[in-house]
Structure 1
């Protein structure tokens, strides 16, 4: 039964990943994500159900349009696979629960953020608003039915405080960066805003863990890219993807990291 549920959740994740591909492509272009229906970006031919089976259609068609033969980016299959894997990891952590539903929703938004920020260096307000709306529902639910992610003894106001914890911290960091480097974009506005819904879903304690994980990952990966000469010392790298990775790590290991850190301070 357990393996059947795992497969079921993973398949749902893969299907949602297919929808995220639409969001990643259309939202930055300010296009409607529902209309027109999916079509080939080269020949404009409307795609049928056979062309839209997540992952498998791309594999069976060998990464090419069935109608005009133009190449289809492997990213479509990658996004679908990553979303399915993320859902599977979250299911392994939370089981069938409201925590799984909330974490899967937030990570779906963040997967779209990951790829949009890489391509366009923006985090669309539409994704932030979607997270805030769902976050508002989460706040109300948690007030009556405490959620696992907020820890034992979590308070009803944990997600509300979390909404401000990450965003305000990044805002302060950005202002300090502006003063030190004398620039107007030391910290992107989208990075600051996306931490508001993240904070709601994680609570204030886990939000700080996610922020710390994001900064550490950004530092390490940026250093590696400079060492292997993929990026220069003065190159800019979008922070959004690191926020996404830091949030997933927090969902999976956040409370373990916090307990380890506290125990390290005590001993």
Structure 2
């Protein structure tokens, strides 16, 4: 008789998702500005009124208030609603692909990657205060699963590979070709997925980056030769899909 999936993990991840999304929205705005995340009370950016519990219920508050501040009527940034919906959706995706406690762990990976991708897309910034916990959490999961060696090797090779590539580009071209955070992000992908998954992460990242550039070109917004590309976004996509479905070409 096939084992039945443990739906409690699915429900837990999906129920937690909107609250995580709300917190990620806060972090994505405050971290680039250097503002504290956990100490300062949330307030309307337009009228500065501190937000109460009725304003802070994920999804429901946005819908009930029609996306506007109760006091001044200023629009609430839609990014909050988008993240509050995206986080449970990613948790559901992880739980359906891995219907067990592993799916809940996948949701933790997805939420970390989502924040990093958002910061890189908007600010070309992959802060170590976020990439290092990604590495540590991946190694902790690997240790619990008894596969620490392969995942520790993946983290080391991921970091070393992109660091050496960035160094070679800098020596040959005389300018930066990769952001400093990309190596740490790939190390996080190696920590979560293992050394054997690194080629898949990079291949998916490169392919998704090319698709992005092609779409921009078709829309008449081709990238300039010296325009930086948020490669961390595509590394996050590669790490996520590789974790979900395994390395390319392997059963």
Please give the TM-score of this superposition, normalised by the length of structure 2: 0.88
Asked if 1:130 corresponds to 2:133, the answer is: yes
CA distance in 2, matches of 1:48, 1:35: 15
Partner of residue 230, structure 2: 238
Distance 1:159 1:4, change over 3 A: closer
CA distance in 2, matches of 1:5, 1:109: 18
Residue by residue over 1:44-103, the C-alpha shift from the partner in whole angstroms, topping out at 9 and shown as x without a partner, is 211122211212222222221111111111111111111111100000111221x22432
- Gapped regions of structure 1 (runs ≥ 5): 144-154, 261-267
Partner of residue 187, structure 1: 178
- Gapped regions of structure 2 (runs ≥ 5): none
* One of 21, 33, 40 as aligned partner of 2:37: 33
Distance 1:2 1:137, change over 3 A: closer
Please give the TM-score of this superposition, normalised by the length of structure 1: 0.84
CA distance in 2, matches of 1:129, 1:4: 29
Q: Residue 20 of structure 2 contacts residue 84 of structure 2 at CA under 8 Å; is this kept in 1?
A: yes
Q: Residue 155 of structure 2 contacts residue 187 of structure 2 at CA under 8 Å; is this kept in 1?
A: yes
How many aligned residue pairs are there? 246
Q: CA RMSD in A?
A: 2.2
| Mapping of residues 1-267 of structure 1, within 5 Å | 6-97=10-101, 99-143=102-146, 155-183=147-175, 185-234=176-225, 235-255=227-247, 257-259=248-250
Q: Once superposed, which parts of structure 1, at least 4 consecutive aligned residues long, lie more than 6 Å away?
A: 1-4
CA distance in 2, matches of 1:195, 1:107: 14
Shift of 1:136: 4.1
